[in-house]
Structure 1
Amino acid sequence: MDFGQFNVNALMEITQRPDLVFVRGQGSWLEDHAGKRYLDFIQGWAVNALGHCPPEIVAAVEVQSKLLLNPSPAFYNQPSIELATRLVQSSCFQRVFFANSGAEANEGAIKLARKWGQLNKNGAFKIITFDHSFHGRTLATMSASGKPGWSTLFAPQVDGFPKADLNDLASVEALIDDQTVAVMLEPIQGEGGVIPATAEFLKALRELTRQRGLLLIVDEVQTGMGRTGTMFCYEQAGIEPDIMTLGKGIGGGAPLAALLAREEVSVFRHGDQGGTYNGNPLMTAIGVAVFDALAAPGFMEQVQARGRQLSEGLLALAAKWGMPGERGQGLLRALILDRDDGPAIVERARLRAPEGMLLNAPRPNLLRFMPALNVSAGEVGQMLEWLDVIIEQVR
């Protein structure tokens, strides 16, 4: 394909990309360099909470970029205080540290838990995580992740992350020893295939960690900020974790993440944690705009309604095509296929003409859906209609 002025070879090769360059986007739609439009049900991997180029973010960038960009995290700035205040008022946490990515927030959570272990549990440092989990691409977060093969990819791995089985409390108990400081999990394993931790398991895990004097860390990088129908997914289980991480949707497309903790767990001393761009006014002003949109009256009800519509539509497709079904919460859902043709469906959807569609297959037998949280009923219906035809074409 002719890319004209685009020298794609200047980019480091880190993934296989299709032969197109996106040049603009609006809401649930993207447009490539050739003018072809795509209905986007990936949204940057659950990043664009309000879709592409939402007016709230455009306005926030325009206003804040004329005021203050980055005075250094060694000083207070107004937008970071405003966003932190919103986050603590809407959660069970009292302190916030802003970062640039979910992996960085999770790295901070690991450091905070280990620091707490040094001060309160005789240097305990092990954090129990789960098979098929995904916590990021730094060395520590890769070691914490349960993604197959990652433990040796950049060996030696960071020690101290024994793996339990999701929704199996006994497997967690069996790993606890005097060096254990915390348990860390995603309320829904996104990259693992949209696998939810049950409310019963989360409640039992919270009780177990309290009994054993351990911290409970929830990685809500993918599930947080309204993705599952409430501002934070942990709320649906009726628990209160000790530490939470946010990313993706919190910036609505901008690089922003957060580490939240209860007051008693916020034990970093001066110099323990930082970062040149962390909490800068431009990103946190965007975060304020995103948060206020998500917190507006009726917004979460619409997320829940579209989640039900998507779930029912996927169940209908599963019944029609003899597939096992669907799973997920809110607008983080997966269609479980009966064969390994997920990648073929994704490719056929992208190549569809005259308008394409962007889907994701984190596993060969699974399609994952992460639309904008303000996706319309018509757009959900359009996606389901096109998907039905595409499945027929592939099969």
Structure 2
Amino acid sequence: MLLFPASNDLLIMFVALEVMSLPLYLLCGLARRRRLLSQEASLKYFLLGAFSSAFFLYGMAFVYGYAGTVSLPGISQALATGGQLDPILLLGLSLLGVGLLFKIGAAPFHAWKPDVYQGAPTPVTALMASGTLVAAMGAVLRVFWVALGNLDWDWRPVMWVVAALTMIVGAILAITQTDIKRMLAYSSIAHAGFLLIGVMATFEIAEKNAGSLAAILFYLLVYGFTTVGAFAVVTMVRDPGGEANHLSRWAGLGKRAPLLSGVFAFFLLAFAGIPLTSGFFGKYAVFAAALDSGSQVGDALGSWMTGLVVVGVIASAIAAFFYVRVIVLMFFSEPAADGPTVAMPSIGTAVVIGVALLVTVGVGLFPQPALDIASQAASGLFIR
């Protein structure tokens, strides 16, 4: 998982992709109480993941056919010295994009996420929603900024459409969900769209890309902690048959377990980007980087970037509806007589929730230290 975004050539990246994906295919099928649903999720993830890996491999072959190398800096150098665009290069770019966008769950390559998140054991779902997304987003940045940075005027329009579609699909379809894990899956899809706004924020001057990279790193940091904390809470709300994932079972939970419900509500508000939470500053950093990028590269592209940020704000407003709906259901509905119970957390679960809450609250109140860490990590990485 760490090797995937750190790879400096496409071949190593493909090997890292497979080494990361194969254990996840197995882990998704290990749920004990909902064995059939878990095995179905594992099979779907394996089949679709195999197709996406094939797309990535074929794209790598086409790019190698054009550039004569699979090294990311070598591909960038071939693009800088090359002449007219080659159809082989564009086909390779498209296939690479499909393979990478599948891993982050961007629309229209998102269909696996709700089913896999619902069927997989919740700790595995938390791993995929945080660690896998971070690794895949790092790989997207490596390929599109390092290798294909000189081709940005060709992939930017497509990425614009994918980012807008991902945010809209994730926000709207989440409203229709009745399962808490499927709702969080579509929430993850919407957040992938927000991150793609940061991917779009590339500059003509390489040094300026450090600010966009810092915004993406900051977003991934705060989103990862909040996601792990939210799924840790989900594991504690239980029925006799296992986890109580249907939203109707969460009605009145705020009266049965006010502390746990309050923590979960705060995580949901962070997902929505409400001020004084870490999610607000994460979205602000990405949106600000996109607007800054648009103002630097020209009027036409600046308008496109502004439009994408507007789409992101609208999607955030739509997403706030289904987050608040769960909060209202927990605190303003009467609990059922046979409602779910809240399991006593283990030491590990309590530590995970506590750390996630501390980061979500702390960064929401004092974001500058985390922003400084992200800026220091991004400094010196002059992309393109």
TM interval, shorter chain, is under 0.3
TM-score by length of 1: 0.25
